[in-house]
């Protein structure tokens, strides 16, 4: 039995290694994803660097010495500007414009309300964040002035804040780490599908199209062993390509400047080993699933149509996990792909894997592998498939 299995496995591996499409799929995904990630992180980064100060222009600069000093103390670069009427657009190299009324100093001294116009530009994430920083600084200065007025009247500042609120985050991981972790691991989840799709199609749908499947089935080998040999070959491509993509991605991330990364990897040697085991079992499941689809296609082209629809499964599952996790039933979190996304995200970004979720991911993938292989063997053993070829 082992000898026949090895014969089928070696035969399939030799055939697929000669297939340029399979090798190109592995190389393009393994080395293309890091370029995509680098581009995304570049877009998310502050292109002027963390040291760049927020530039604030103040109309009424001369009569707001206290406000200007407060803003400069908060780290803003403050410059004067002369405005008449409303502003249509921000000046170049300016993140926000504060327009004070002509009688600002008089109203401040008399304790009257002061209408202040703040002009910002929210067309980009960076501009929006800097505009929010300026708005927060104005509110802080307003509270400081209000506190000084209360003190002069003998009113304790504690009356301004009757409650002292301390926030404690009980989530196992931060929101940004969770979102970015799931997004990155979702790319890894695509790897087995991309790496193995071409070889899975050629292993069965291609054999049927070339009418070589009948002669292969006529050999003295049982159908389950034949399926097992093809499955082992597809799983090898899926796992090898996936690990190549993971290693290349994680290695290149070490050369990305820290200020460009919106997250920090917490991966350890033990975590990497656990992730490799989980990705290996997932590759086994994906290989069996692809073969179960490929066996129903009469040609390579027809199989591509089926595979295109199948590729929507990890996409839908991934985005459902990213944006609708709280609305999903509890049992969904223990299904393949869903459990793998959660487990791998915790391994890569938290450094503290959840063994229960990891075990459920492994168990569900193994169960799915067995079911898909049984369905493929049953379909291949059917005499009807010979008449359809």
CATH code for the domain in which residue 77 is found: 3.40.50
169 band by pLDDT with thresholds 50, 70 and 90 = low
Give the E-state strand segments of the chain in sequence order: 55-59, 77-81, 96-99, 117-120
Helix (H, G, I), strand (E, B) or coil at 53: coil
pTM tops 0.75 = no
Tokens of 144: 């400081």
| Same domain assignment for residues 317 and 381 | yes
Tokens of 40: 């995304």
| Same domain assignment for residues 190 and 331 | yes
355-373 in b/e burial notation, b at 16+ Cβ within 10 A? eebbebbbebbeebbeebb
48 band by pLDDT with thresholds 50, 70 and 90 = very low
**Residue 16 counted as domain residue:** yes
Number of domains forming the structure of the chain? 2
Residue 64 has pLDDT above 60, yes or no: yes
pLDDT (tens digit per residue) in 312-332: 888 888 778 777 777 778 777
**Residue 166 counted as domain residue:** no
| Same domain assignment for residues 133 and 182 | no
Average pLDDT over residues 90-101: 89
| Same domain assignment for residues 25 and 65 | no
Give the span between the Cα atoms of 128 and 120, in whole angstroms. Answer: 7
Domain endpoint, select from 101, 131, 160? 160
Average pLDDT over residues 101-111: 88
Average pLDDT over residues 345-360: 80
Give the span between the Cα atoms of 21 and 16, in whole angstroms. Answer: 9
Residue 335's nearest CA partner among 311, 365, 290 is 365
Average pLDDT over residues 128-145: 89
Average pLDDT over residues 155-168: 70
Residue 110 has pLDDT above 80, yes or no: yes
- Between 387 and 32, name the one with better pLDDT: 32
Give the span between the Cα atoms of 179 and 174, in whole angstroms. Answer: 9
Residues sharing a CB contact under 8 Å with residue 250, sequence separation 6 or more, in sequence order: 265, 267
Segments forming the whole domain that contains residue 115: 55-160
**Residue 37 counted as domain residue:** yes
| Same domain assignment for residues 105 and 187 | no
pLDDT (tens digit per residue) in 177-197: 566 666 777 888 888 988 888
| Same domain assignment for residues 38 and 108 | no
Per the document, the length of the chain is: 389
**Residue 280 counted as domain residue:** yes
| Same domain assignment for residues 113 and 251 | no
Residue 361's nearest CA partner among 290, 266, 280, 265 is 280
């Amino acid at each position: 039995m082992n000898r026949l299995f090895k014969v089928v496995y070696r035969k399939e591996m030799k055939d697929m290694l000669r297939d340029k499409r399979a090798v190109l799929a592995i190389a393009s995904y393994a080395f293309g994803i890091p370029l995509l990630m680098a581009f995304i992180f570049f877009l998310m980064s502050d292109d002027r660097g963390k040291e760049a100060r927020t530039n604030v222009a103040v109309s009424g600069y001369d009569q707001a010495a206290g406000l200007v000093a407060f803003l400069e103390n908060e780290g803003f670069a403050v410059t004067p500007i002369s405005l008449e009427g409303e502003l249509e657009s921000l000046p170049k190299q300016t993140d926000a414009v504060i327009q004070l009324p002509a009688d600002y100093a008089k109203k401040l001294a008399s304790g009257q309300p002061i209408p202040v116009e703040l002009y910002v530009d929210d067309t980009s994430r960076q501009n929006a964040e800097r505009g929010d920083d300026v708005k927060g600084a104005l509110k802080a200065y307003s509270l400081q002035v209000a506190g000084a007025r209360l003190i002069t009247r003998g009113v304790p500042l504690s009356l301004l804040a009757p409650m002292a609120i301390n926030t404690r985050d009980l989530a196992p991981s931060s929101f940004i780490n969770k979102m970015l972790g799931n997004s990155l691991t979702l790319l890894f989840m695509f790897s087995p599908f991309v790496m193995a799709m071409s070889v899975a199609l050629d292993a069965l749908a291609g054999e049927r199209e070339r009418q070589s499947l009948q002669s292969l089935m006529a050999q003295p080998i049982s159908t389950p062993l034949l399926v097992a040999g093809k499955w082992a070959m597809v799983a090898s491509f899926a796992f090898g390509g996936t690990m190549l993509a993971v290693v290349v991605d994680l290695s290149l991330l070490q050369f990305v400047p820290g200020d460009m990364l919106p997250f920090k990897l917490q991966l350890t040697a033990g975590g990497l080993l656990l992730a490799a085991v989980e990705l290996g079992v997932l590759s086994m499941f994906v290989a069996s699933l692809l073969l179960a689809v490929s066996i129903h296609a009469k040609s390579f082209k027809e199989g591509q149509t089926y595979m295109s629809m199948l590729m929507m499964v990890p996409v839908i599952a991934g985005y459902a996990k990213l944006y609708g996790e709280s609305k999903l039933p509890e049992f969904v979190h223990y299904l393949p792909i869903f459990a793998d996304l959660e487990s791998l995200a915790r391994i890569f970004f938290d450094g503290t894997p959840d063994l229960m979720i990891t075990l459920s991911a492994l168990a569900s993938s193994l169960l799915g592998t067995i079911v898909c292989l049984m369905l493929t063997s049953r379909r291949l053993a059917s005499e009807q498939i010979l008449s359809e070829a």
